[in-house]
Amino acid sequence: MSTNEKKYLEKMINNYQEKAPTKVDELKQLDKKVKKPVNIFTYILGTIGALILGFGMCVAMEVILPGLMWVGIVVGLVGILIVSVNYFLYKKMLESRKKKYASQIVELSKSLLNSEATEA
């Protein structure tokens, strides 16, 4: 058996062997728990805002609903407002979730750093 085949077999064993979760994995999960809901919300809100803005533009340029240019302008402004506020909502929501999980993340990070320092 060649060395490449042995490396491949070892790689396959490592890929399919069950691993016990480590503290680093737990830290990554906590970080995802902080960021994922915020990202999902802001992506959805941004998409909705962009669609509203696009619809307003279509109405304002009289591509659809001719004669209602003023309605298109108002709808477009609502879309612009939603898209503009989205970033600030993202920052506020992320900040509040960071505060909520900060103690757990900092404690876990410090324990990992301390365990690394004792091993060295």
pLDDT of residue 97: 95
* Structure-token pair, residue 118: 């004792």
Question: Which residue type does 7 have?
Answer: K
pLDDT above 90: percentage of residues in the chain: 68
For residue 45, give Cα distances in angstroms to 33, 38, 100, 104. 19, 11, 23, 29
**What confidence tens digit (pLDDT) does each residue in 29-80 have?**
999 999 999 999 999 999 999 999 999 999 999 999 899 999 999 999 999 9
